[in-house]
A and B are shown apart, each in its own frame.
Chain A
C-alpha cells in the first residue's frame, strides 16, 4: 500500500478513535440528581449522608471516626503528585433521581440509556449471572438470576446489605481495610456510598460472572463505593468490576474500597477494566484475605484516569493459599498511572505470582509499584514476579519500584523486570513478511498485552484489545 494511502487510513482511524471514544465513554447526561451534599468534607455532611441512608448508629459512628482519622492522617509522601486534589471542591454524595430497581424498564430512561450505551443490559442477558449498576453515589439497578438466589447467593447493594445482613456486614466492614490504613481509606470510611455485597455460600460455584458497573456522571463529584465479597468454604465466583465517567474540566475523585474474604478452599477471580475519564483522580484500595487453600486471582486493566494509585493486595493467611495478579496499564498524555500489587505470605506453602505489563506513550507515566512480604513461618512459600514495561517514545516514563521483604529462609522468591521499546528487529522481520511498520508495531503491542487479555472473558478481552488498538492508533504513524 502506498504511504499516502496508509496515512489516509491512519488519519481516518484516528478520527474514528475520537468519535468512538467520546461516544462510548465520554458522553454525559445532564445533572438530574435528586439530592447532593454541599462541597467539602465536614462532620455535618457525613452525618447527613448517614441519615439519608437511614443507617444504624454503629455505621454513623464508624463514619465520624473515619473522618477524624482522615483529618489527622497526612497526605502520602510518595507516589504521584496529588496537589490538584482539593477536597473543598468535591461533592461527596450525589443521589440520582431514582431508587434501586431490579428491572431495567423501571430505571429512568436517561440512566438506562447510559448503561445501554455501555453495553451492560446486553451483557447481562448474554453472559452474566447478576448485575449491579451504580450511577453517581447510589446503585440504581441490581439483579441476580433466580437459580443463584435459590442456591443462597446474595448479591445486592451495600446499603441493603447493611440493613438486611447487618451482623455479617458489621463483623467484616472495613476490618480488612481499616480507616487507619491511609488517608483515602479514611475518607472512604467517612463518605462511602453504594457498591456491592456478595455472599457465596459454602460449596456453591458460579459458572458465569457477576458484574458491577460504576458510572460517575456528576461533575466535580466523588464516588466512594464499597465492595464486600465473602466466598465461603469451597465456593467460587468470578466478579467483574467496570468503571467509567464522562470527561469534565473539573477534577472528579474516586476512592472506592474493596474487601474480599476468600475462605478455605474457595476461589475468587476479581477482574477490573477501568476506563475513567482523564479528569479523574482514582485513589482506590483493594484487599483480599485468603484462607487455607483458597485462591484469589486479580485481573486488572487500567486505561483511564488522570492519576491512579491502585495496588490490589493479597494477604495469604492460610496454609496453601494462592494469589495471582495479572495487570496491564496503558498511560497516555496527561496520565500518571501508579499501579501494582502487594502480597503478604503469612502462612506456610503459600504461592503468589505477579505478571505486570505497562505501556506508556505521549508523555504518559506508568509506574509499577509492588511489595512482596514473606513473613517468618511462611515456610515453603514461593513468589514469582515478572514486570515488563514498553515505552512508545522518550517523552514518557516507565518506573519500576518493587520492594521484596523476606523473613523466612525456607522460601523461594524471584523477581524479574524488563524495560524497553519495540524491537526494531521484530518490526523489520514482520515488515519482510508484508506488514506495514504500523501494522507490525500494533501486532507486537497486542502480543505484549495478550497474557492479560487471555485471562479475561472473551467479550472483555475484545474490549481491552479494542481499547489498546484505539490508543495505539493515536501514537503510531
Chain B
C-alpha cells in the first residue's frame, strides 16, 4: 500500500512535489464530466507537507511528523481502537475513498499519516456506546494527517464519531481519510464533525464498502476551515445493503466548500438516501455534488438524493450538481434540489411575535439542520454544532 511520494514526480502524473513538502494536486470531483465553464469538474489544491509551516508571527515551525512506520504522538484512544504504525497485512479490498481524490492524495496519506487508527468490531459484537475519537491540531502540532479504517465484522454494530476541532487562529491543516468496511449484516454509523478554525485547510475523503444486508449511515458536518474539500463514496456491494448519507454544511465569511458525495448501487435491492442541508452566508462559496449511480445489475434498488440550501446573503455563491447516472432499468431514483432565502412571510410572522431578524435567522437555520443534527448521539457535539451556527449568524449580521 505504501508509496514513496517522491517517486510520483518521475511518473509523469500531475502534481508537483516541492522541497517544502507541498504537493499540488488536481482532484477530479465529478463521476461524469460536464461543461468546463461550469467549473465543477475539478478541484485544485495544495497538500502542505510536513517540513514546516509558517505562522503569522513570522516564525517557521517544524510539524511533529513521525518517521514513516512509527506511531504518532500518544493520546487516549478507546479500547476498540488500535493505533497502528501502518496498515500492512490488512486486506482492505476496494478503495472507495479514492474516487474523488487523486492518486497523490492516497500516496500522501500512505506516506505522511501521523495518526493511523484501525477499529475492528468483531463478529456479532454490538457496541452500545459511540466510539469517539477527538482530533485537535494546534500550534504545537499543526498538521494532522489521519488515516482511519473501520472494519465491522459480520453482524456487528457500532457508532464511530470523529470530531475535529482546533483553537481559533492557528493555521492548522487537516488531511484525512476514513475507510469503512461493513461486512455482512453489520450496522455502522460514522459521524464526522469538522469544526476547525477559520484559518484551517481541510481535505477529507470517506469511503465505504457495504456488503450483503449491511447498513452504513454516515453523517458529515462541515462547519469550519477556510477551505474545505471533502468527499464520500459508498459502494453498496452486496444484495440488500443500505446507506444513508446526511450532510450539514455551513458557509460564512470568505469560506470555500467543495463537496462530492456519491452512493453506488451495485448489488440487487440496495437502498440509499442522500440528504444535505446547508446554510450559506456572507461571501461564502459552495459546490455540492451528490450522485446516485445505479450500475447495471442493481435491480430492485431505490435511491433518493435531496439538498436544500438556505441562502442568507446576496453575495453567496451556491452551486449544486445532483447527478444520477443509471444503467439499470429496474430501479427507482429521484433527486430534488431547492434553494432560496427565508420566506419573507415567515420572517414577518416571527417579527410580529417579537423575534428580531437575527434571532429569526437562527431559528430558521436550526430548523433547517435539526433533522440531521438530532441524529448525532452526543449532546455536547449537537450543542457545539448549533452554537457554531448561531455564532456565525451573529457575526455575519455584525459585519453585514
Q: How far is the CA of A402 from the CA of B318 in the complex (A)?
A: 14
Cβ of A456 to closest chain B Cβ, rounded Å: 27
- Confirm or deny: A19 has a beta carbon within 8 angstroms of a beta carbon on chain B: no
Q: Flag if A77 contacts B40 (CB, 8 Å).
A: no
Shortest CB–CB separation between residue B350 and chain A, in angstroms?
Answer: 18
Q: Is the CB of A376 within 8 A of B314?
A: yes
Question: Which residues from 360 to 413 on chain A have a C-beta closer than 8 Å to any C-beta of chain B?
Answer: 369, 371, 376, 389, 391-413
Residue of B nearest to A405 (CB): B319
Least Cβ–Cβ distance between B263 and chain A, in angstroms:
14
State whether B323 touches A401 (Cβ < 8 A). Answer: yes
Complex partner residue of B329 from A392, A405, A413, A415, CB under 8 angstroms: A392
From residue B335, how far is it (CB to closest CB) to chain A in Å? Answer: 5
Find the B residue at minimum CB distance from A385. B337
Q: CB-defined interface of A408-427 with B at 8 Å, one 1/0 digit per residue?
A: 11111111111111000000
The answer, among A78, A414, A419, for a CB contact under 8 Å with B338, is A414
List the A side residues contacting B329 at CB < 8 Å. 391-394, 396, 420-421
Which of B12-20, B30-38, B173-181 lines the interface with chain A? Answer: B30-38
> Which of chain B's residues have a CB closer than 8 A to the CB of A418?
332-334
Query: Are the CB atoms of B317 and A400 closer together than 8 Å?
Result: no
Q: Are A419 and B331 in contact (CB under 8 A)?
A: yes
Known: A397-B325, A399-B324. A419 touches B317 (CB 8 A): no
B311 proximal to A (CB < 8 A): yes
Let me know if A412 and B324 touch, CB within 8 A. Answer: no
Shortest CB–CB separation between residue B347 and chain A, in angstroms? Answer: 12
A389 to B317, CA, bound (A): 29
Instruction: Select from chain B the residue with minimum beta-carbon distance to A342.
Output: B35
Is B384 at the interface (CB under 8 A from chain A)?
Answer: no
A402 contact set on B, CB distance < 8 A: 321-323
Say if the beta carbon of B226 comes within 8 Å of chain A: no
- Is B326 a contact of A404 with CB atoms below 8 Å? no
Among B38, B314, B320, B325, contact of A399 (Cβ-Cβ < 8 Å): B325
B367 proximal to A (CB < 8 A)? no
* Chain A residues with CB under 8 A of B340: 409-413
A420 in contact with B323 (CB, 8 Å): no
Question: Which B residues between 260 and 295 are near A, CB-CB below 8 angstroms?
Answer: 294
What is the 8 Å Cβ interface bit string for chain A, positions 17-41, against chain B (1 contact, 0 not)?
0000000000000000000000000
Across the interface, do A405 and B38 meet the contact criterion of CB distance under 8 Å? yes
Bound Cα distance A371, B319 (Å): 10
CA distance A413 to B328 in the complex (A): 29
Q: Does B359 contact A (CB under 8 A)?
A: no
A404 in contact with B314 (CB, 8 Å): no
A422 CB, min distance to chain B CBs, angstroms: 9
Contact A409 B323 (CB under 8 A): no
CA distance A458 to B321 in the complex (A): 37
Nearest chain A residue, comparing its CB with the CB of B38? A403
The interface on chain A, measured as residues whose beta carbon lies within 8 A of the other chain's beta carbons, has a size of 38
With a cutoff of 8 Å between Cβ atoms, the chain B residues found around residue A389 in the complex are 326
**How many whole Å from B119's CB to the nearest CB in chain A?**
36
Complex interface: chain A residues within 8 A of B316 (CB): 407, 409
Once bound together, how far apart are the Cα atoms of A61 and B33, in whole Å?
A: 35
Tally of contact residues, B, Cβ under 8 A: 44
In angstroms, Cα B40 to Cα A138, docked, is 40
Q: How far is the CA of A420 from the CA of B328 in the complex (A)?
A: 8
Residue of B nearest to A373 (CB): B38
Q: Tell yes or no: B341 within 8 A of A by CB.
A: yes
Contacting pair B335 A416 (CB below 8 A): yes
Among B38, B311, B314, B324, point to the contact of A419 (Cβ < 8 A).
B324
Contact across chains for A404 and B320 when beta carbons are under 8 A apart: yes
Q: Are B323 and A400 in contact (CB under 8 A)?
A: yes
Q: Are B333 and A415 in contact (CB under 8 A)?
A: no
Task: Chain A residues near B90: list those with CB within 8 A.
Answer: none
In this assembly, does B256 line the interface, its C-beta being within 8 Å of a C-beta of chain A?
no
Question: Is B299 at the interface (CB under 8 A from chain A)?
Answer: yes
State the CA gap A417–B332 with chains docked (Å): 11
Most buried by A among B322, B326, B332, B334: B326
Measured between beta carbons, the chain A residues less than 8 angstroms from B312 are 409
**Cβ distance B302 to chain A, nearest Cβ, rounded Å:** 9
Looking across the interface, which residue of chain A has its beta carbon closest to that of B323? A401
With A391-B326, A391-B329 already in contact, the answer to whether A409 and B38 are too (CB < 8 A) is no
Other-chain contact of B339, A371, A394, A398, A413 (Cβ < 8 Å): A413
* Chain B residues in 8 Å Cβ range of A391: 326, 328-329
CB–CB B324/A417 < 8 A? yes
Assembled-state Cα–Cα distance A400/B38 (Å)? 16
Task: Give chain A residues whose Cβ lies under 8 Å from the Cβ of B333.
Answer: 417-420
A417–B34 CA distance with the chains assembled, in angstroms: 18
A419 to B334, CA, bound (A): 6
Q: Which residues of B have CB within 8 Å of A413?
A: 337-340
- Verify A416–B336 contact, CB threshold 8 A: yes
Q: In the complex, what residue of chain A is closest to B337 when comparing beta carbons?
A: A415
Which residues of the partner chain A approach B341 to less than 8 Å between Cβ atoms? 409-410
Tell me if B327 counts as interface (CB < 8 A to partner A).
Answer: yes
In the assembled complex, the CB of A79 is this many whole angstroms from the nearest CB of chain B, namely 8
Q: Report the bound CA distance from A369 to B311 in whole Å.
A: 25
Residue of A nearest to B299 (CB): A394
Q: Are B34 and A369 in contact (CB under 8 A)?
A: yes
Please, which residues of chain B bring their CB within 8 A of the CB of A410? 314, 340-341
A342 CB, min distance to chain B CBs, angstroms: 8
Looking at A371, A394, A405, A410, the one whose CB has the most chain B CB atoms below 10 A away is A394
Contacts of A401 in B (CB 8 A): 32, 34, 321, 323, 325
Q: Is B296 an interface residue (CB 8 A)?
A: yes
| Chain A residues, Cβ within 8 Å of B323 | 399-402
Binary contact track A139-175/B, C-beta < 8 Å → 1, others 0? 0000000000000000000000000000000000000
The contact string, 1 if C-beta is below 8 Å from chain B, for chain A 57-78, is 0000000000000000000011
Knowing A394-B299, A406-B311, say if A415 contacts B319 (CB, 8 Å).
Answer: no
Residue B2, interface by CB 8 Å: no
Is A78's CB under 8 angstroms from B33's CB?
yes
Distance in angstroms from A401 CB to nearest chain B CB is: 5
Q: Which of B309, B311, B315 has the most CB of A within 10 A?
A: B311
Residues of B contacting A369 with CB < 8 Å?
A: 34-35
Q: Does B139 contact A (CB under 8 A)?
A: no
Are B317 and A417 in contact, CB atoms less than 8 angstroms apart?
A: no
**A46-B256 Cα distance, complex, nearest whole Å:** 47
Most buried by B among A401, A408, A413, A421: A401
State in angstroms the CA–CA spacing of A406 and B328 once bound together: 32
A409 to B38, CA, bound (A): 19
Q: How far is the CA of A399 from the CA of B326 in the complex (A)?
A: 6
CB pair B32 A399 closer than 8 Å: yes
Cross-chain contact A394 with B328 (CB below 8 angstroms)? yes
User: Do residues B337 and A404 form an inter-chain contact, with CB atoms below 8 A?
Assistant: yes
* Given A393-B329, A421-B330, residue A400 in contact with residue B324 (CB < 8 A): yes
Contact between B337 and A414 (Cβ–Cβ < 8 Å)? Answer: yes
Q: CB-CB < 8 A to B331: which residues of A?
A: 419-421
Complex contact B334–A417 (CB within 8 A): yes
Least distance between B354 CB and chain A CB atoms (Å): 25
Interface string of A427-450 (1 = CB under 8 A from B): 000000000000000000000000
A-B contacts, 16 of them at CB < 8 A, read A394-B329, A395-B296, A397-B327, A399-B325, A403-B34, A404-B321, A405-B317, A405-B318, A406-B309, A409-B314, A410-B341, A417-B334, A418-B333, A419-B294, A419-B331, A419-B334
Q: A394-B297, A396-B327, A417-B322 are in contact. List 10 more A-B contacts (CB 8 A).
A: A371-B38, A391-B329, A398-B326, A403-B35, A404-B318, A404-B320, A407-B318, A410-B314, A416-B337, A419-B331
* Chain A interface residues (CB < 8 Å from chain B): 77-79, 369, 371, 376, 389, 391-421
The 5 A-B pairs with the shortest beta carbon distances in the complex, nearest first, are A391-B329, A409-B311, A78-B33, A421-B329, A419-B333
